[in-house]
Chain A
């Protein structure tokens, strides 16, 4: 069975239980899954558990028939690419340097011609070629986020986890970045998960939705199914109405109840 499966995942910070018996249907290759849920639902924690940065016991997390717990930390992070939510660096490193760092993945001292080419292509494809020689400390929040996405996409992994890749972006860049992520997942036949707050973006770009609330999976399935689920209004604490947009797309409207 290929794909990403998670079973019986529990995690707590001290006495505070963040994830409670999280399990979801196997995520298929080539599909983009959006992980939605209110603040502090455990989205980032779930990603970190899958990536192996948070150690959880008793759970099974399998990626393409490999039990991830059998891999070393570094090998696991080569198979599962995790993009953390924030980065605030003020280092004397250029954007090219930091993407090269992701491309090298801690291997060896030398940079080959292929490495340089791969990074240059990734920067160009990610629409941040003009920032290649800027220092990371000089980037705006949105630019830094786009650099993070390029850092993730330059790596060749089996699964990609993006923690809120669009939270600091303007409208055009939100669409561009999510479009690039979706295309990359399809072209590479990889597993993709994106944590999103914007339900409209989730409806537009995701093939599959997972609703996480208070550390539990509340709903999963096709976007229209999950968005129509009454639990979504309940967990967000707002009334949610759906309508069809002018281009036959699903629109999500939220009203404070």
Chain B
């Protein structure tokens, strides 16, 4: 019954077991990164124009050898699309993972809180009424509108939780209220829209990578690089939060502050992602679940794997959107669900342990 009854060999065995699991987790993350690299390569070499794998690689590694046509296809069209898919997927995966963590809810994703309907409403304002929230942004005004309205929504949510207390229930309820408000406003605009505007609006909401450009990839990357270090710094606090608020507080986590700051980061990620590619809700929900089933919820594996899973889903979607019907690139919003859900169901069926009740 004393502290001294320990047998060093038993303790050593536990330590070895832990290190093995850590190594396995690390290898799984590396494997996911390797698969992601393959899908990106595949994404770049597939498409309407017939370019061989070797020729494509050659043009990427040495742009000077490309003909004008090849240069446009690879450097201006395919690479931005492939990379935007990866970066946006990672943003949505990370946003979903942390949203589920801070709200302690498996159904949470950045869009649960009404961010996507807010963005859609912002886009609709631009498309139907021609209103720009910030004047003088030129052709980007649909994107900027979507971003501003989405950010405004999360600021309102932020303000509300500050006033009312930062409980997951309050956040989700206000988020749902936002969702329905913006959906109603959106219907209102759709009702008054012309046929062309309606088509534009529907296309925007379906989500598309076709609008990808290098500056967009850059902006997404910058946002990700701003938000990620904060999440990485809070890894243990976020892991602790999964043990319940009280436990986390007893370890010195300022739970309310953590929820608010993570909410701010998640909102920024989601708002930027949605305003560039439209509403792709599925990635932020399923990416983290795949990560949870494969590497568990220690944030040191969960966070990178959620990002990789999100990126993989969107990158795979980008390939599928071109491959289904040759010559047609489908909007990705509908394909994410079609390729993601069967995979997800297989994972759920194969999973014996349930980590949410």
Contact = CB atoms under 8 A, between A and B. Distances in A.
Contacts of B18: 96, 100, 116, 119-120, 132
Interface stretch (B192-200, B296-304, B318-326, B333-341): B296-304
Nearest to B237: A106
Interface string A26-57: 00000000000000000000000001010000
B239 A97 contact: yes
A141 interface: no
Contacts of A98: 243
Given A89-B243, A97-B296, A124 B3 contact: no
Given A116-B19, A120-B11, A77 B251 contact: yes
Interface stretch (A60-68, A79-87, A215-223, A242-250): A79-87
A23 to B, nearest CB: 24
How many of chain A's residues touch chain B, expressed as a range? 35 or more
B14 A180 contact: no
Contacts of A129: 10-11, 14
Contacts of B3: 125, 180, 183-184, 187
Nearest to A153: B3
A77 B246 CA distance: 13
Contacts of A78: 252
Interface in A143-184: 175-176, 179-180, 183-184
B5 interface: yes
B251 A105 contact: yes
A215 to B, nearest CB: 21
Contact of B252 (A77, A83, A184): A77
B6 A125 contact: yes
Chain B contact patch, size range: 35 or more
Interface string B3-19: 10111001111110111
Contact of B249 (A53, A101, A176): A53
Nearest to A113: B15
A116 B236 contact: no
Nearest to B234: A106
B22 interface: yes
Contacts of A230: none
Contacts of A124: 6-7, 10-11, 14
Given A91-B297, A125-B3, A133 B249 contact: no
A92 B297 contact: yes
A128 B6 CA distance: 11
Nearest to A75: B252
A94 interface: yes
A137 B251 contact: no
A253 interface: no
B164 interface: no
A102 B11 CA distance: 17
A116 B21 CA distance: 12
Nearest to B14: A120
B2 to A, nearest CB: 5
Interface string A106-120: 110101000011011
Contacts of B246: 84, 86-87
Contacts of A102: 251
Contacts of A82: 250
B19 A101 contact: no
A78 B273 CA distance: 39
Given A123-B11, A124-B14, A90 B235 contact: no
A73 B297 CA distance: 26
B69 interface: no
Task: Give the residue among B1, B250, B252 with the most A Cβ atoms within 10 A.
Answer: B250
A101 B2 contact: no
Contact of B11 (A83, A92, A109, A121): A121
Interface in B93-142: none
A138 interface: yes
B232 interface: yes
B357 interface: yes
B252 A73 contact: yes
A202 interface: no
Nearest to B232: A109
A26 B71 CA distance: 79
A135 B251 CA distance: 20
A179 B4 CA distance: 12
Contacts of A132: 14, 17-18
A93 B250 contact: no
A74 interface: yes
B78 interface: no
A111 B22 contact: yes
A158 to B, nearest CB: 15
A117 B251 CA distance: 20
A18 interface: no
A175 B237 CA distance: 33
Given A124-B7, A137-B355, 17 more contacts: A53-B250, A89-B243, A89-B247, A92-B297, A96-B21, A98-B243, A101-B239, A105-B251, A106-B236, A106-B240, A117-B11, A121-B6, A124-B6, A132-B14, A133-B21, A180-B3, A183-B3
22 contacts: A73-B254, A83-B250, A84-B247, A87-B247, A92-B292, A92-B296, A93-B298, A94-B296, A96-B17, A100-B18, A101-B239, A101-B251, A105-B236, A106-B237, A106-B251, A107-B236, A116-B15, A116-B19, A120-B14, A121-B6, A132-B14, A183-B2
Top 4 A-B pairs, shortest CB-CB distance: A91-B242, A120-B14, A120-B15, A74-B252
Interface of B: 1-3, 5-7, 10-15, 17-19, 21-22, 232, 235-237, 239-240, 242-244, 246-247, 249-254, 292-293, 296-298, 300, 353-357
